Amino acid sequence: MTAQRLNIAGNSPWEAIVGYSRAVKIGNIVAVAGTTATKEDGSIAHPGDPYGQTIQALQNIEKALTAAGAKLSDVIRTRIFVTDIKHWQEVGRAHGEFFATIRPAATMVEVKALIDPLMLVEIEVDAVLS
């Protein structure tokens, strides 16, 4: 028997254009796509503030996880993309506020740019439901 697939939409205007889902759940696995500080109206929250953008991105991720029946404690891996690695402490502090006791495997790398020049941080996660 094949596990049922659940596609979860987010609030990014790029999902339909590019053809992806905010998150996909198959069986007990949930993959959350690269998520930024996109507000409900599709605009970017906290321009110029890497800490604020990280908080918003993680809140968006938590919302997608909840829609998939998962929670932050199910996250086993995070990947963080920043447009300026000099902001690693601000981004890391926000990440730590969400994951200090969960402690998923994590990676942070600098990238040249994200899809919108206002975006400073993009995060993706993998979760396994227990």
**Domain coordinates of the chain in residue numbers?**
5-128
Contacts 24+ apart (CB under 8 A), 76-79: 76/104, 76/105, 76/126, 76/127, 76/128, 77/104, 77/105, 77/106, 77/125, 77/126, 78/104, 78/105, 78/106, 78/107, 78/123, 78/124, 78/125, 79/34, 79/106, 79/107, 79/109, 79/123, 79/124, 79/125
**What pLDDT band is residue 14 in, cutting at 50, 70 and 90?**
confident
**What pLDDT band is residue 1 in, cutting at 50, 70 and 90?**
low
**What pLDDT band is residue 16 in, cutting at 50, 70 and 90?**
confident
pLDDT digits (tens, 9 = 90+) for 47-95: 999 999 999 999 999 999 999 999 999 999 999 999 999 999 999 999 9
> Does domain 5-128 bear CATH number 3.30.1330.40?
yes
